[in-house]
Amino acid sequence: MTRLIRTIASVLLLSAVFAASAAAQTSNPPATAPAASSANAAVVQPFDVRAAVDTYLARVPPDQRARSDAYFEGGYWLILWDFLATVVVMWLLLRFQWSARMRDLAERITRLRPLQTILYSVQLIVLVSLLTFPLTVYEGYFREHKYGLSNQTFGPWMRDQAVMLAVSLVLGALLLTALFGVVRRLGKNWWVWGAVVAIAFSAFLDLIAPVYIFPLFNTYTKLQDTRVRDPILSMARANGIPASEVYVFDASRQSKRVSANVSGFAGTMRISLTDNLLNRCTLSEIEAAMGHEMGHYVMNHQYKGLVFDGVIMLIGFAFLNWGLNAGLARWGQNWGVRGITDVAVVPLAVLILSFYTFVLTPVENTITRTMEYEADIFGLNASQQADGAAEGVLKLGEYRKLDPGQLEEFIFFDHPSGRTRITAAMRWKAEHLQLPQPQLVSVKP
């Protein structure tokens, strides 16, 4: 009953946000450039930031805008459907003792507990992947094709899914073995060290991903075109980034999206751009995008993200510990789960943690969105390409809603919205148009 109420509450929340965003759309506060000083105003034409932003946004035809809005808003609902699907699947695994039976099978095969954990985790991941496959296929394949964002036919898409399953089998077994090692050794205070294990695992993933995981899906090459590479490397040197290479990967294998990223951790950290970005964008746009990625690098967003995640995970594991004990006391026997050290408890843990992350969606989004905005500001200063940045944002607008309401942006956006980003670019441009021209100053005594 409470689950039903929660579901209804989520649906109501989503509807309320849509209503609020529709209202907010017409009432965005005007963003005008601060008045230029009287001395400058005489020589420089005023630059209307708000008008410049609107001119950019108006370049996207209404039908294209409606399409990308629909795609992005559909993503809000997917957060809910994914959560509900997880709840249903985990409940089935517990209620019908499938989880207990998978544990029994693992125990019949071997007496070694770590090996039992691995065998259980393999069965669990395969079964859950099968049960959620219809949703995966809709989300990852049909929906992407419906909105014209995918370049992949079904065969290669399935191949990627199979590789992803293999990767998660290895990583899942590794993580569960480490976590249950902690649970079994530390007893009551397991959750503190459990959170530490989870954070360390996440740093480990960041570290190995660019070298061992991403190349399973895409080919990474060093950017050869000196007309593009040289200005990027020059910007990198100017900002104290010890990069000697820029990487390009064939994202067009999967999708039409324009993007770039910083990946890796410590020794494996690198900046990569997609072939889509390279093929579809001007040099100004590429420089603007690279300036943004360098911002992530210079401001240590990877490490800061890990600290934020650490805090969220620690609270999450405390909640998990409480939820596991409460749930097991009540239903443990019915589910055939012996206790917190029994691997069969995993579906309950997943259920509790997915509830936690579902509720925390706006918090997680705000953490990343804030860092993305910082990277935007850094990128503008580093690349000096305000119009390049704005043009790039319009291309991102093919799959991201450009002009949401404030509450909608707060809850659902993990990057600033198109309007916010173009406003930042035009504000930067306005202030730089109004700067006095640099003059040579004699410093002779």
Q: Which residues bind Zn ion (CB under 5 A)?
A: 372, 375
Cβ–Cβ < 8 Å for 201, 178: yes
Closest contact distance (angstroms) between CB of 239 and Zn ion is 15
Closest contact distance (angstroms) between CB of 296 and Zn ion is 5
Closest contact distance (angstroms) between CB of 411 and Zn ion is 19
Nearer to Zn ion, 144 or 372 (CB): 372
Nearer to Zn ion, 261 or 434 (CB): 261
Closest contact distance (angstroms) between CB of 421 and Zn ion is 11
Closest contact distance (angstroms) between CB of 106 and Zn ion is 42
Closest contact distance (angstroms) between CB of 428 and Zn ion is 17
Q: 185-199: string of b/e by CB count within 10 Å (b at 16+)?
A: eeeeebbebbbebbb
Closest contact distance (angstroms) between CB of 313 and Zn ion is 22
Helices (H), 240-345: 275-280, 283-298, 301-335
CA 305 to CA 309: how far, in whole Å? 6
Nearer to Zn ion, 135 or 377 (CB): 377
Rounded alpha-carbon distances, angstroms, from residue 284 to 184, 249, 291, 392: 56, 20, 10, 9
Question: What's the distance, CA 144 to chain centroid?
Answer: 17
Nearer to Zn ion, 342 or 376 (CB): 376
Closest contact distance (angstroms) between CB of 235 and Zn ion is 16
Nearer to Zn ion, 321 or 365 (CB): 365
- Going by C-alpha positions, the residue among 304, 278, 283, 275 that lies closest to residue 375 is 304
- Residue 363: CB atoms within 10 Å: 12
Closest contact distance (angstroms) between CB of 46 and Zn ion is 32
Closest contact distance (angstroms) between CB of 260 and Zn ion is 8
CA 393 to CA 403: how far, in whole Å? 11
Cβ–Cβ < 8 Å for 201, 263: no
Strand partners for 18? none
- Going by C-alpha positions, the residue among 29, 100, 72 that lies closest to residue 331 is 100
427: Cβ–Cβ under 8 A, 6 or more apart, which residues? 31, 33, 49
Nearer to Zn ion, 103 or 369 (CB): 369
Helices (H), 187-282: 190-208, 226-238, 275-280
The values of phi and psi at residue 74, to 5°, are -60, -35
Region of residue 218 (left: phi > 0; alpha: psi -120 to 50; beta: else): beta
Nearer to Zn ion, 372 or 409 (CB): 372
Tokens, residue 21: 């965003």
Nearer to Zn ion, 342 or 372 (CB): 372
Closest contact distance (angstroms) between CB of 244 and Zn ion is 22
- Going by C-alpha positions, the residue among 230, 241, 250, 251 that lies closest to residue 378 is 241
- Going by C-alpha positions, the residue among 30, 138, 75, 135 that lies closest to residue 415 is 75
Torsion of CA 211, 346, 109, 132, to 10 degrees: -70
Cβ–Cβ < 8 Å for 297, 374: no
